[in-house]
């Protein structure tokens, strides 16, 4: 097939440069969207009598035939076509003859590639949102079984205050919800049609940009043709939103990696998600969360790459934009894979060691704040109560005791307002249950949160 460029070229490209220039090996991903974009364009050309309705029908049938052949595996886009756009055009001319040469009337690959990419990404955003919802449901189901399972809460990775394990899991559902909201927001800006901006300046052909936008399901069109062909903000926004999804998955992964250590023993990996060591027969490794944590770096890298590609570009289209595709494609694959893997890990990969969790919150000083709060309830100023409890903890440490092991007399040596009911107040279950402020870890609050997420996710 001869090159699609104009007759001004006498000689063919250097073979290495031909490879270097081509994007077909990755932009073949956009084949369905490229065909849909061309079908919409061809129909509009017919409606506006730029070509005859008959011609438009033949072109559309040809494009549908290419789609069928591709879906049946009979047509495989590949080099030496330069990119998917030329590849389809060449194939169409092959199939229907010279009439195929009319398809590119009134458009350029610059508005075409922008349209394809937006169509592709719009669909992928919807798929990623569904995967996030699946993960939220898995977390919700685990949370629902663990309202009364207690887990140490940490600040600075030091024991702070005990929590309902459900509360801990619900925090991730909240983060994921913000991720969904961000994706919806990005989707709104992806969902705008650049088609008809042509190379950069618009066209004198009497096209109708609203017709193609409507057929392709875009909610609006770009107002400025230069902006239309050179805007990649939507790609940056998508990868930025994905970076936050990966950040959230990575934090959860890190916690799971800690939970399954011998030191924590809060959970055990099932065989479905654990891998062995080639050398140490006793080992069960958390490869799944480690891989998710590790893959986060790729997505951050793609964000950096996109920003750097765009930052120095004068208006309008520059070939640098060809470099936007691989970061976007790899981000979509990485995020989708990690969401699926985390879903499996949460659903089938973890056994929560409830006994160990319960024991862990019995054996620390995470009820110290409650001791201070007790004195506050007896009208002792908080800062004074705080100092008193500091001294009590110091005494316990020197005697290798926990707060609950002290006698009432020992408590009263520090403040006579301590009474017998102090022991009741110090049990981890009561410590958790009493934190009933809105959004707190008290069982009543967490039940409300569970209920509201159930009605949102499981309706």
- 139 vs 236, which CB is nearer to ligand ARG? 236
Contact call for residue 322 and ligand ARG (CB under 6 A) = yes
Q: What is the DSSP string of 83-151?
A: SHHHHHHHHHHHHHGGGGGGTTTT--HHHHHHHHHHHHHHHHHHHHHHHHHHHHHHHHHHHHTTTT-EE
Distances (CA, A) of 297 to 235, 244, 336: 18, 11, 15
Task: Give φ, ψ of 197 to 5 degrees.
Answer: -70, -15
Catalytic residue among 52, 184, 277, 377: 277
- 266 vs 317, which CB is nearer to ligand ARG? 317
Of the candidates 109, 137, 293, 435, which one interacts with ligand ARG according to CB under 6 A? 109
- 88 vs 292, which CB is nearer to ligand ARG? 88
Of the candidates 8, 156, 223, 319, which one interacts with ligand ARG according to CB under 6 A? 319
Q: Is 156 noted as a catalytic residue in this protein?
A: yes
Q: Is 41 noted as a catalytic residue in this protein?
A: no
E strands, 127-277, are 150-155, 158-164, 192-193, 220-221, 267-269
Contact call for residue 11 and ligand ARG (CB under 6 A) = no
205-234 residues in contact with ligand ARG (CB under 6 A) are: none
Catalytic residue among 156, 398, 407, 437: 156
Distance in angstroms (rounded) separating the CA atoms of residues 227 and 231: 5
12-31 residues in contact with ligand ARG (CB under 6 A) are: 23, 27
| Residue 192: strand pairing partners | 220
Phi-psi map region of 157: left, alpha, beta (phi>0 left; psi -120 to 50 alpha): left
Of the candidates 75, 172, 321, 443, which one interacts with ligand ARG according to CB under 6 A? 321
Q: How far is the CB of 34 from ligand ARG (least distance, A)?
A: 10
Contact call for residue 113 and ligand ARG (CB under 6 A) = yes
- 27 vs 33, which CB is nearer to ligand ARG? 27
Kindly report the length of the chain. Answer: 459
Q: How far is the CB of 103 from ligand ARG (least distance, A)?
A: 16
Distance in angstroms (rounded) separating the CA atoms of residues 150 and 200: 61
- 24 vs 133, which CB is nearer to ligand ARG? 24
| Binding residues vs ligand ARG (CB under 6 A) | 23, 27, 83, 109-110, 113, 317, 319, 321-322
User: Known catalytic residues?
Assistant: 156, 277
């Amino acid at each position: 097939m001869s090159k699609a460029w104009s007759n001004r070229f006498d000689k063919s490209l250097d073979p290495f440069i031909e490879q270097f220039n081509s994007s077909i090996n990755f932009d073949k991903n956009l084949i369905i969207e490229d065909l849909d974009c061309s079908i919409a364009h061809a129909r509009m050309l017919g409606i506006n009598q730029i070509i005859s309705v008959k011609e438009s029908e033949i072109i559309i049938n040809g494009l549908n035939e290419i789609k069928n052949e591709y879906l049946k595996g009979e047509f495989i886009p590949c080099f030496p076509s330069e990119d998917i756009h030329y590849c389809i055009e060449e194939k169409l001319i092959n199939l229907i003859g010279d009439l195929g040469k009319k398809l590119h009337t009134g458009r350029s690959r610059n508005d075409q590639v922008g349209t394809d990419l937006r169509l592709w990404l719009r669909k992928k955003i919807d798929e990623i949102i569904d995967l996030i919802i699946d993960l939220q449901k898995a977390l919700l189901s685990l949370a629902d079984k663990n309202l009364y399972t207690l887990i140490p809460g940490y600040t600075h990775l030091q024991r702070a205050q005990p929590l309902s394990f459900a509360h801990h899991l619900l925090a991730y559902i909240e983060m994921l919800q913000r991720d969904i909201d961000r994706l919806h927001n990005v989707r709104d800006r992806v969902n705008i049609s650049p088609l008809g901006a042509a190379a950069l300046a618009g066209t004198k052909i009497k096209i109708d940009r609203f017709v193609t936008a409507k057929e392709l399901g875009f909610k609006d069109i770009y107002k400025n043709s230069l902006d239309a062909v050179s805007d990649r903000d939507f790609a940056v926004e998508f990868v930025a939103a994905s970076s936050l999804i990966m950040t959230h998955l990575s934090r959860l992964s890190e916690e799971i990696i800690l939970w399954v250590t011998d030191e924590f023993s809060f959970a055990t990996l099932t065989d479905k998600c654990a891998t062995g060591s080639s050398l140490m027969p006793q080992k069960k490794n958390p490869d799944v969360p480690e891989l998710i944590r590790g893959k986060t770096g790729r997505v951050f890298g793609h964000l950096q790459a996109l920003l750097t590609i765009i930052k120095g570009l004068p208006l309008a289209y520059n070939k640098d934009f060809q470099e936007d595709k691989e970061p976007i494609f790899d981000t979509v694959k990485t995020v989708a894979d990690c969401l699926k893997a985390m879903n499996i890990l949460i659903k089938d990969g973890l056994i929560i060691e409830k006994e160990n969790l319960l024991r862990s919150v019995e054996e620390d000083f995470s009820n110290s704040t409650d001791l201070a709060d007790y004195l506050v309830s007896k009208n002792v100023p908080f800062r004074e109560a705080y100092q008193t409890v500091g001294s009590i903890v110091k005494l316990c440490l020197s005697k290798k005791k926990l707060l609950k092991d002290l006698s009432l007399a020992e408590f009263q040596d520090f403040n006579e307002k301590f009474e017998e009911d102090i022991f009741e107040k110090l049990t981890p279950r009561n410590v958790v249950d009493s934190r009933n402020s809105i959004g707190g870890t008290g069982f009543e609050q967490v039940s409300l949160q569970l209920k509201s997420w159930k009605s949102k996710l499981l309706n």
